[in-house]
């Protein structure tokens, strides 16, 4: 399970290994073993290690999720233009096929590792671990992870990031947060993107989209942005700088952070 540290006992599974699981004999002689173990505990364990790596190298890791084509890469391009003099940026790109997105990022002078998942429609913590060892984390302040374009699966897999950002473009409809509650509930910041198109798409009401997000008990900021016109990017960039400051304060106190709705009971770190 854990190649780097050699451990394979987690908070989540130790009761299995220690023979703690409750046993019950059914009438036909079968044994029923009661478990209560998170199905993704192995992924979550690896994610905890990834988070330790990021923290040890003072890196803030941000996971970007959205439908295909909502503007994740374009947002990264604008973000790099705005921040690259001030912060050192690295990017992990997840796509089913092609190196296109990584090449767009490299064209901006920023190092990018492309993960091509083939058939897997989301990134998982093991893929991120492989990718982060291809990077020099000491020369990075912010690591962006662009997840595979998919409004369903990415929300279920912790990667070791500190914060989640979910994008919704105005071409997708303002009811999406109600239809895909899991991924919007996971957001620490919701970006409504391509606001420049609102002029021609008058049936998208940003207030309705925001209200659908609030119905999910999400307190996170909802910002209206356009990577094309630059509208609202100041909100996004100042949030990001705030996150960088918070991360350096946390690190000076030896603390870390998980995205707001990290699965219940999940450990921040996998070992003390």
Buried-exposed string 130-145: b where 16+ CB fall within 10 A, e elsewhere? ebbeebebeebbbbbb
Query: Cβ distance 40 to 1 under 8 Å?
Result: no
Q: What is the CA radius of gyration of the chain?
A: 20
Instruction: Please identify, using beta-carbon distances, which residue of 56 and 98 lies nearer to ligand GTP.
Output: 98
Point out which span in 7-15, 33-41, 61-69, 159-167 binds Zn ion (CB under 5 A): 7-15
Bridge partners (DSSP) of residue 83 are none
Residue 75 Cβ vs other proteins, minimum distance, rounded to whole Å:
23
The yes or no reply on residue 72 touching Mg ion (CB under 5 A) is yes
The yes or no reply on residue 161 touching ligand GTP (CB under 6 A) is no
Point out which span in 10-18, 115-123, 220-228, 234-242 binds ligand GTP (CB under 6 A): 220-228
> What is the C-alpha to C-alpha distance for residues 30 and 39, in angstroms, rounded to an integer?
23
Contact set for ligand GTP, span 140-159 (CB under 6 A): 149
Question: Which single residue brings its beta carbon nearest to Zn ion?
Answer: 153
> What is the C-alpha to C-alpha distance for residues 58 and 252, in angstroms, rounded to an integer?
10
> What is the C-alpha to C-alpha distance for residues 45 and 49, in angstroms, rounded to an integer?
7
β-pairing, 111-116 with 89-95?
parallel
The yes or no reply on residue 73 touching Mg ion (CB under 5 A) is yes
Residue 162 Cβ vs ligand GTP, minimum distance, rounded to whole Å:
21
* Binds Zn ion (CB under 5 A): choice among 16, 96, 121, 235: 121
Residue 77 Cβ vs other proteins, minimum distance, rounded to whole Å:
28
């Amino acid at each position: 399970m854990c190649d780097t540290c050699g451990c394979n006992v987690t908070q989540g599974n130790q009761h299995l290994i220690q023979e703690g699981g409750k046993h019950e004999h059914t009438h036909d002689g079968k044994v029923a073993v009661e478990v209560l173990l998170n199905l993704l505990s192995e992924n979550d364990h690896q994610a905890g290690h990834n988070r330790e790596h990021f923290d040890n190298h003072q890196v803030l890791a941000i996971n970007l999720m959205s439908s295909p084509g909502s503007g994740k890469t374009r947002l990264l391009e604008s973000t790099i233009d705005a921040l690259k003099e001030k912060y050192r940026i690295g990017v992990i790109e997840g796509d089913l096929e092609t190196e296109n997105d990584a090449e767009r990022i490299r064209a901006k002078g920023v190092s990018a590792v492309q993960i091509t998942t083939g058939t897997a429609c989301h990134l998982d913590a093991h893929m991120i671990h492989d990718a982060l060892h291809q990077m020099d984390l000491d020369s990075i302040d912010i690591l962006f992870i662009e997840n595979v374009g998919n409004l369903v699966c990415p929300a279920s897999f912790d990667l070791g990031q500190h914060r989640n950002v979910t994008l919704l473009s105005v071409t997708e409809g303002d009811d999406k947060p109600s239809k895909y509650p899991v991924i919007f509930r996971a957001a620490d910041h919701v970006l409504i993107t391509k606001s420049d198109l609102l002029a021609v798409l008058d049936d998208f009401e940003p207030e309705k989209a925001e209200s659908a997000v609030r119905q999910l008990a999400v307190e996170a900021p909802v910002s209206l942005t356009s990577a094309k016109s630059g509208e609202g990017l100041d909100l996004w960039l100042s949030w990001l700088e705030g996150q960088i400051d918070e991360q350096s304060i946390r690190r000076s106190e030896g603390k870390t952070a998980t995205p707001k709705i990290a699965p219940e009971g999940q450990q921040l770190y996998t070992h003390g």
